[in-house]
C-alpha cells in the first residue's frame, strides 16, 4: 500500500499560509483600489512559494521514499 502525506509538512503549511494571506491582501487591493495593496498581495504569493521551496530543500518537506518501497 502506497501512503502519501498529501503535503502535510511544515514547508507546505508555511507556504500555503503565506500565500493565503497574500490572496486576502490582494483581494482587498482589488476591492479597495490601492495599487500597492494588490502588489503586496502578489508579492506575498511569490514569497510563500519561495518559502515552501526553501523549507522543502532544508528538509522540512515531505519525507523521501526510496523506490524499493513502492
Q: Where are the domains of the chain?
A: 10-61
3-state helix, strand, coil in the chain (%, to 5): 75, 0, 25
DSSP state of 68: G
Give the count of beta carbons closer than 10 Å to the beta carbon of residue 5.
10
The per-residue pLDDT for 65 is 56
**Band of the pLDDT at 60, cuts 50, 70, 90?**
confident
Q: How far apart are CA 61 and CA 4, in angstroms?
A: 12
What pTM was computed for the model? 0.80
Q: What is the per-residue pLDDT across 37-59, written as a single tens digit (0 to 9) for each?
A: 999 999 999 999 999 999 999 98
> Higher pLDDT residue, 43 or 5?
43
pLDDT at 70: 44
Amino acid at each position: 500500500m502506497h501512503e502519501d502525506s498529501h503535503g502535510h509538512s511544515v514547508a507546505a503549511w508555511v507556504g500555503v499560509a503565506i500565500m493565503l494571506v497574500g490572496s486576502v491582501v490582494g483581494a482587498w487591493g482589488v476591492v479597495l483600489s490601492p495599487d500597492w495593496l494588490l502588489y503586496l498581495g502578489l508579492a506575498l504569493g511569490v514569497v510563500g512559494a519561495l518559502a515552501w521551496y526553501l523549507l522543502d530543500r532544508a528538509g522540512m518537506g515531505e519525507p523521501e521514499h526510496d523506490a524499493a518501497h513502492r
